[in-house]
Structure 1
């Protein structure tokens, strides 16, 4: 059977396997992501501006490589080797965090992890698109994001459990043991890629020819909107710093983070399916509005009720932003350039998401976290308005 023929629960084989891979990898990542903000401020002793800058740099740098490796995977007509190499590099980098002592060696390993993400993301997303039935890319990307985020729910819960088991150990040493534990699900994900993932079918092997979708006015305008929206996409660390500001413990922050990821996971698959029906452009537009509302809720949260609402809205907005645009770009791309076009989206996003966290960190240090979230709300509202400039009906 071809890559689109064999199905598991109505999902193509490759999409199903990549969903499992992302579940394990994100479980690995999210075991430690909720503790990283406190690790930076309490162990490595970074301040607000440096902390925000580091988090922004970490989340941004991976995207700078995505268009390059998407392009290379299109030219080499091979996705699997880049997917494996990217996940392998990230697995090593996360485990090695156990040996960091300064902010600069921490940053170098986190950048290495993000380089791994940059290597794998566009080829992986292209393989998902190539393995999907026509008109069902939203469903495939929704399933993948759901599995990815279920891993992000399992990760913090596993992290909480491990920290509980290590409650008699000095906190800095417990952090380091937690970093080492991430290699277990990471190595399992590499096994799945190596032995179960199939290389792309005929779509990848077609002669490279035709006019690139990147020359389309609407696609370029859409990338401009993505840039504006990315300027309002602060690091998740700011949401945890907000919870800490309201008096919640590390375990409380991790619980809020798990709530966010649970909402993301529950939303991603139906959002993907729904986007195939109502149009991805429409859903992306709504996503920017929800993101603005989430930012306002974080800005004015003073008690648990508003904070819970903020995390729920944040989960839905990120589920939309991480699902619909990828499927939208995949639908617009020609068969010979899916990796390149999807990589262009990730790269534009990555370039502009870095200053977003730097600006948010500066506003936090100079004024308060409230201003960081208000700034994000304004940028998302601007992106929401700009979406109406795009006449594309996709």
Structure 2
């Protein structure tokens, strides 16, 4: 019997895409108000706020390889996916009941731990639910849905802020925190009731050498680390818009353009990688990243800035999608969670210092130097991809 498909992907992948849409919508509903909530209501300084958010994000990366391994060890993906999404949803809703910065930090840690628990098992489940040779399309669809959630979230937040405009700011924010938990919890129910676990189909005892012992894969992870050192936060792109004299709303408009390009290109690029080869498209992605960084560095007007955001959207769509599918293809059946988790951990660890280095270059010299540094790192990663050969 032919397996059920929708939009060219399996039913499992489609459902996980819906769950990711709901979770990202939930997360992005609160992201526009969290910075103001920290500084104006909880009274945390801007420098401390940035450090807290960066460290918490890095923390989640340490859990990804661990829980990827656990999902391989116990051959259970669905339980870890559901638990991870549940922790994040509850943590976001609980922000409505805090009154101090340390409570905020504790809940954000719970949220990021949830992300660390679910990410590698979920990606392994996507890989196991995909046709052989079609993982790029599956991961592309998932990233598209995730990014569409990032578009829907801020729009929902704007609508809720308008509805609650007559309320005191702190009351309005707390209500949004509570409401933000609802899409996340719906996603948890979808995982529990409808997603089919595939981990149990892997044989209990499989003898073989781990793909992580492969020199070519270790070199690839090294290149990923170098590329991650050139991965600046989207905040730098908004600061560039501000430097050019654009208003906050105009800057957000460019950010919306980035998200739109990201969402629309992730799925077709994922499918394209299945045809031309994932490694080749990852190499091209590093080149586009270098071009985007150069475009940001030398943009002098709104049109040039728009081009930079378009390139940035295509680059992120490639580098947030294709390496996951590539790692899934290389991993043996008994270690997909571990191998994909290793990728997420390496990437996450090196992303944190990337924005720190870019920030130092900005403060010491100018924003142009921060973008040129990112361009150099991505160009180096592209060159190393060309020089190294896949075995």
**Does TM-score exceed 0.5, indicating one fold?**
yes
Corresponding residue for residue 124 of structure 1: 122
Distance 1:85 1:333, change over 3 A: same
| CA deviation string 1:337-357 (max 9, x = no partner) | 000000000010111111112
Aligned equivalents of 2:84 and 2:103: distance in 1?
20
- Deviating more after overlay: 16-25 vs 241-250: 241-250
Residue 15 of structure 1 corresponds to 13
Please tell me whether residue 287 in structure 1 is matched to residue 285 in structure 2.
yes
After alignment, is 368-377 or 326-335 more displaced? 368-377
Cα distance in 2 for residues equivalent to 1:122 and 1:189: 17
Answer yes or no: is the 8 Å Cα contact 1:263–1:315 preserved in 2. Answer: yes
Q: Which residue pairs with 2:368 in the alignment?
A: 370
* Cα deviation code 1:211-239 (max 9, x no counterpart): 10011111000000011111111222333
Deviates more, 1:167-176 or 1:21-30: 167-176
Q: Is the 8 A contact 2:58 2:349 kept in 1?
A: yes
Pairwise CA distance, 1:186: 0.8
Deviation at 1:315, TM superposition (A): 1.3
SS state of the match for residue 182, structure 1? Answer: helix
Cα distance in 2, alignment partners of residues 367 and 357 from structure 1? 15
Deviation at 1:171? 4.3
**How far does residue 368 in structure 1 lie from its aligned partner after superposition?**
3.8
Unaligned segments of structure 2, at least 5 residues: none
Matching of residue 329 in structure 1 with residue 343 in structure 2:
no
2:151 maps to 153
TM-score normalised by L of structure 2: 0.92
Q: Go from structure 1 to structure 2 and tell me whether the alpha carbon gap of 1:31 and 1:311 turns closer, same or farther (over 3 Å shift).
A: farther
Structure 1 residues 346-385: aligned runs within 5 Å:
346-385=344-383
Partner of 1:386: 384
Hey, what's the Cα distance between the residues in 1 that align with 2:323 and 2:68? 16
Identify the residue that residue 295 of structure 2 maps to in structure 1: 297
For 1:100 and 1:287, how far apart are their aligned partners in 2?
A: 42
2 CA distance for matches of 1:26 and 1:320? 19
Q: Is the 8 A contact 2:80 2:121 kept in 1?
A: yes
Separation (CA, whole Å) in 2 of partners of 1:52 and 1:368: 19
Deviations for 1:365-390, whole angstroms, at most 9, x for unmatched residues? 44443333232222112211111132
Show the counterpart of 2:4: 6
Q: Distance in 2 between matches of 1:44 and 1:324?
A: 39
Q: For residues 218-266 of structure 1, what are the alpha-carbon distances to aligned partners after superposition, in whole Å with 9 as ceiling and x for unaligned?
A: 1000000011111111222333344445555554444333322211110
Equivalent positions of 1:242-281 (< 5 A) are 242-246=240-244, 248=246, 251-281=249-279
1:296–1:224 distance in 2 versus 1, CA, 3 Å: same
Change (3 A) 1:138 1:371: same
Mapped to 2, the partners of 1:246 and 1:104 lie a distance apart of 36
Deviation at 1:42, TM superposition (A): 5.3
Which of 300-309 and 278-287 deviates more? 300-309
- Give the aligned partner of residue 137 of structure 2: 139
Encode CA deviations 1:174-204: one digit per residue, 9 max, x unaligned.
Answer: 4433322211211111110111111116643
Q: Distance in 2 between matches of 1:184 and 1:240?
A: 29
